[in-house]
Structure 1
Amino acid sequence: MIRSQTLNRILGRRMTERMIETSSVILREWSTNFSCVPRPGETIYGLHSFRFPDPQCINLSDNAPESGAASQPSTSYDLAELMDAAAVAEAHRFDIFQTCAQGLEWAHTTMGLPWWATIPLCTLSLRLALLPWSLRQAKIVRSSYMIYKEAVTLTDQQQGLSHGSSSSDTSSSSADSSPSARTQLASSTSSLTTAQRLKRTQAILRNFALLRQKCEAPHPIWILVNPMIQMPCFMVMGLTLRAMGVGRWPGLIHEGTLWFPDLTKAPLIIETMETPLGAPGFILPGLILAMTLTSLRRGFGASGTKLYQNQENDNFGKLLAALPPLLYTLTILGTYFKVQQPHAALLHWATSSAFTLSLQMGLQTAMVRETLHILPAQQVKDMLARMVAPPKPASSSGPLYSESTLPSELVEKVRCTHSADVLVVMGAQLSAKHRYSEAMFCLDRALALHSSHVRAHYSKGQVFSLVGRWQEAQRCFREAAEKSPEGSPEKGQALYCVATSLHTQGDLKTAISMYREAEGCWRGQTVISYSLTNALLEAGRSEEAKEVLIEAMNRDSKSPGRPFAFVLQRLASKLGLGQGVV
């Protein structure tokens, strides 16, 4: 802030930035009274180019002394210096808007188009520049929403809640589209206690993270990146155009079109309730409102929000149920401010709304989706359904792969890799992507380099179990157990997988024995006690099952988050132990 000796003498010791702002307002009021048309100068309102009458005395009432002090007399001052100080202060405050206004003026001059064409073209250019971020957000929103739905389905299947389908490989989309399925699910979840609902939510989030990693989907935090980039850009441009309209920027008065030849006029002056352009002045605000509401409706429909709102017992469903009315209400209330905007700003918002709606309509066309590499919704649903569906037994006991059918790039990469550890990691990554034959090729190569590699045997058993070949899985897990250090957790984990393989094949007696052996190495694991309880219950040994279950519930009560509380309570109900056993 610039202060000269004259200015300090006029304003005294209590001169503050507020006084500069007050002086700036006075100058703008004078400029209106003298009907001076501002020209772009050093500030957005061009304050330097005005010619004012000779300086007069002004009593700054805001600078009154405190009670009991002597009154300060009115003082004459140098108006030119006050103008300079006010102009510098205002230019400093609105620097970003001044830069934007100068950019718009440059575009207007360079293109040689009237303002009514320059403003929409600048808005479209900005939207196109930010289009990659918009498309990325659209993909992330849709994929995250679908993955979340499948995570809910997977969690409810794990916890024994019905989704209205007896088939194990039925996608959750069928449940979403069936009213009876939604009713059945709502009745199942409504009986849960608050603690059980909290644990269910935690399980949903864990499954969501797992499915997101398998799909290689971006983190949902990216949803916030696009608004954080776009909102400041469009707000700055909109506010700049509003300031240019209020300040009667050169050319805006005469370079309108149709029913708004003057782009500085607003549809409504709220203080006097005047309508400078009459009824046609409300056309643009009405179009903006209609396009925004239509865009919101289409957006909610495309993401499937309506279907998911019926799951009232899910917190995410409650949020989605409240979101549309909230956004509709905010959009309608925003019209109150839109009708007070100059038509220069309304042109900007109308162009932006039209672009959004056109993009949504274009994305419904297969050709546009293919061009932008957006997968159809059904394809994404099918992919997720395959992930949450249990594996189907393999029809053959032969090799999982033929080297001649594998991608040549992978074969070459594996042959050039001489570290068994690296190959095991590669196999795990390929297995997570459901590329089991390629994963097995990596693991076989790892065992060829290091035949006693415990993790390679263990990972190979996991791949066999994922394709339903439990006998081969059992042999691999047993190899891993034999090659693990005696009494180590690794040995206990491998033995637990051996027991699971036997359990799945129906050999309950041997499975129970292996569960107990695994418990001796891998101590304190609730998952082993839970599986052992199921095996004992299936074998008809209810009393032993009760003892093991009570021990499992005691262990789970000491675990952070109690991940097995829900399924253990279900087993307790089957065994007649009732609520609150622990």
Structure 2
Amino acid sequence: MAFRMALVPILVLQLKQTKRISELLPQLPPFWPPRNSGRSVIDQLVLFRKQRKAIGCPSFLWIPAYFSIQVSCFLLWITSIRRMSLDHHPGFDCGGALWFQNLTEIPNGLFGPIFPFLIAGLHYTNVQIIFAGSSVHKFDKFEELAKNYKRFLNFMTFLLYFLAYQMPQGSLVYWTTNLSFSIAQQSLLKHPTVRAKLGLSGNDIVQKETRNVESTNGNEAKSVDPPAKGRIISAQTLTPQELLSLSVKYLSEGHIEKSIPLLRLALEKDPEYLKGMITLGQALYQKNQFPEAAEYLESATSKLLAACPTEVEDVDNLIVASQWAGVSNIRQGKTPDGITHLERVANMKEPDDPKSKAHYFDALVLLSSALFNEGRKDEAAKYLRLVVAYDNSFKELLKQCEEER
């Protein structure tokens, strides 16, 4: 366990480098010279190397780096333990557990197949997890190579089963522990929160969607059909609008952790992208990150106010940004600031656009609730009357407000 824990920093570094490779790979030329290009294999490799360095792509030796180190250390340890078992190291003949007290013996008897089955099963599971989480191999340039390598590793499952019968149980205990640690490690590194903490998320390989995403709050854009349906590409190659479309899809499916890194990337590409600011603020609010949510929403509000919006879309953006900025401040305990944002909407002219009108009255409901909680019940009732005139379903809320004045 200590040995494997010591290798974790190397693994994280390799994952960061391979993530960077996967982002830049679409910008590189093919490894082999295209037909009729007139270039030799060496010339093509020289061109590939020059362009790789020009765009700052890490060396491709990072891809097998951790695997090479882990395998070397694994072989050193397992052969060392094997030698200790065969040499009857003190305690190995009675220091096992359960049905495997004698670690110097090879698997035998009724319980003999347990370790071979465990090792074969854990190896197969580990291979599936690794290839399910990998991103570099999903590119056309690596796909065939990765498929063949995965077939080889799957075939190794049968060889390892029979090989385990030829090794002392001391080595098999270590081998089982090592594979179990690998599965736990890979599963943990696939978790969105862990990946975010380690700086591994945000620019993962994503699949461009081919269907349009319907707008639900006035702050989403429709996705653009990709040139090749279902093609795997890097998030770095997507435009801010495409990143927003994909993030909205994730939000609609409840995958907030996946949407936030895409929205941050969209704003890195275009810091003035108002829809990206508003949607990111909404996503952060849903993750209870109220201070940061308010920061993005207030920034969008300031930019919209400075532009004096008149277009329907801009007015709707201002309503939504002010509404969410208001509730973000209220959830932080900054109720006066929150009311100021919501009152901005109340002081606007009632929109004619149906979608904007719905957002407008949503803001009035939130404003009346905040005012009521602050003891300003007459003002709360005033705004609720306007809401009831639009939507009679709030009639009971107005009645309760008037009774408690």
Q: Shorter-chain TM-score: what band?
A: 0.3 to 0.5
Instruction: Normalising by structure 2, report the TM-score.
Output: 0.46
